[in-house]
Chains A and B, each alone.
Chain A
Amino acid sequence: MTTLDFERRVETNRPVTSMQQQAADVRTKISVRDFDFYYGENQVLHGISLEIPEKQVTALIGPSGCGKSTFLRSINRMNDTIPGTRVGGVISIDGLDVNTPGLDVVALRRRVGMVFQKSNPFPKSVFENVAYGLRIGGLRDRGLMEEIVEKSLRRAALWDEVKDRLNASALALSGGQQQRLCIARALAVDPDILLMDEPASALDPIATQKIEELIWELKDNYTIVIVTHNMQQAARVSDRTAFFMLGKLVEYDDTNTIFMNPAQKMTEDYITGRFG
């Protein structure tokens, strides 16, 4: 079985199939069909189906334990690192099933970047953190590396704060700065998609605001999927919102619709704080 090099995938211009997408020229980046997920014998996700549009922010909300983080991690197959897991159904990126046997997972993860809940910079310098993905990719041209690092740090709105201390330890930065560093690190390898698992939950309000502004700017260039337990954050930051509950997708629509005029009663109960 040959390795399907994800970097040479064929771009498909599939017509929009989802009923909820109004604008005809919004492409689907990630297509999910009847996706199941099992931890051993325990089924954690049941028949998830949705279409995530390109270059928009999609928020996944729901009470804790409802499977939204698991779903997020399935997109870049980070759940492979956990033993005993099984999947069913399909998650496709640009028409290619991420669970295709023989798919190069390493290449997949370059195309799909991830930022974690608690920032996890490497105990290296700021520069080396951002350059990490480039180095393992084999990039040796120092000039090009510096260019990409600067570009990434600018995109993550961190450049001005660290440009004079690129060689200082990343651990010396504040919590909010570290998280933006992790974003820059993920951006450096030029992903199409950015997955963010509660990126601001460990940060103070000011740092959170900075991250949210950043997300709003980033969506011009990247498809962003963000998991958050903070509903106001989802309302502020996202274009579309998916509400998960007990491993099922309850409702998925434009953010405005979800928050002002939800179709399902459960959604309304959650939004108004009746539970969760």
Chain B
Amino acid sequence: MKKELKFVVNGQTYDLWIEPKTVLVQVLRDELGLKGTKRSCDSGSCCACTVLLNGKAVKSCSILALQANGKEILTVEGLANGTQLHPIQEAFLDNWAFQCGFCTSGQMMAAKGLLDENPDPAREEIQLAMDGHLCRCTGYNMINEAIQDAAKRLQTQEEQGGAK
């Protein structure tokens, strides 16, 4: 029997009826058409599908969509402000923090979760926070540098009073 799922995704309120066993990534991709969130391992082991649930990074393949009921989700589509990229996106772009780009959405969302909690993480703290996010292309160093760069950009933005 379908159940009601009422939640906010990227600032937009949705009211859906879904099968209770549906996982969050299915709803985001297949119901809402938010294809920026990627499905790769379907077993919670690669983190490509990471989104923010009330500000915390979660693997959307491994939680039920109904666990997001009444909560707020942020996906990669909600990062930019119109055509203005989020500092994390700018930093990933400028630091070549991706090659194929398939794990990138998950990496950036986790980076946002991390930087919201810890605005100035050291290299080792980033390694620890990003540990589960598999990437086969970059060797991770450029991602780490991008996150350090994003932290600086966010800091500057805050100092200029334009923090998002």
A binds B: no
Q: A-contacting residues of B (Cβ < 8 Å)?
A: none
